[in-house]
Structure 1
């Protein structure tokens, strides 16, 4: 297994979905995972150590997982199937299937390690340049400009 560090969130263009970058520890390759805006906001909040006035969904899940696994759980980005990453939360002797973005958001809140199989990194890992300050500021501006109405489905 390869340990992964959360590098951050990148926006390729303002119209594209955010990309979560997980870099191999002691390496230069990253797993790029396209994620939703809400998950990107949850990850960005955890990276910035922001504590909401009331717990959000990932905060609630982290609190529950602390009861299930009081020591140290694990997040495993386990594979890819038809272009979609698969992930698991390992807690209290249980393995819970989940989206990678949700797993990372929870892992950041709990300080849990994130790992992937070497074979996955060999298959889909890419070399990525360090994020520029302009990209980080652009993403923060985007997060400041969105509200809950932006995520409503116009076609129920």
Structure 2
């Protein structure tokens, strides 16, 4: 059985500073965290908050969506389908002329593409059962995990300052194979 989900927010793991995408069920009763790479988190963030990011050229997931659209290929849905050895697996369901093709993909790339194409996001029930879940019915939990609106007061930290602080707390190991 598949459960429809939505992107709730992006947060940083407080211990490792690794990005986490939180997916919540459509009834907002629970959420599951999926640890992702910093580049994929940036791709998701850019789509969730486009007003914060002025991008003049298409990014990788935008390009993929544009290519699929140019060839009349529809992204029907993405499914987080498995969890093995603490690694999530996903599938992208594509359709053209009534024929469906399922592609193996990382959840982060699948989510980034779904956000751009308008495709639905689903998680297999067995993955939910194996995952740590967050109870969203607990008072204040949704507000705690949801992005907070930007303060308009100029005394508040700027977006640049916030990212500077995040990057200062990170070590080269946090970038994995993408070390600078």
* TM-score after normalising by structure 1: 0.81
- Of 78, 82, 87, the residue aligned with 1:79 is 82
Larger radius of gyration: 2
Q: Which runs of 5 or more structure 2 residues have no equivalent in the other structure?
A: 136-140, 152-156
Q: Which runs of 5 or more structure 1 residues have no equivalent in the other structure?
A: none
In structure 2, what is the equivalent of residue 19 of structure 1? 20
Q: Deviations over 1:95-131 (max 9, x none)?
A: 1111100110110011110001122212214115332
Quote the Cα distance in structure 2 between the aligned partners of 1:58 and 1:84: 21
Quote the Cα distance in structure 1 between the aligned partners of 2:8 and 2:146: 12
**Pairs aligned (count):** 150
In structure 2, what is the equivalent of residue 142 of structure 1? 163
CA pair 103-69 structure 1, distance change in 2 beyond 3 A: farther
Q: Does the 8 Å contact 2:75/2:114 carry over to 1?
A: no
CA pair 27-145 structure 1, distance change in 2 beyond 3 A: closer
Matches within 5 A, 1:82-97: 82-92=85-95, 93-97=100-104
* TM-score after normalising by structure 2: 0.71
Q: Does the 8 Å contact 1:77/1:87 carry over to 2?
A: yes
Quote the Cα distance in structure 1 between the aligned partners of 2:40 and 2:129: 26
In structure 1, what is the equivalent of residue 129 of structure 2? 122
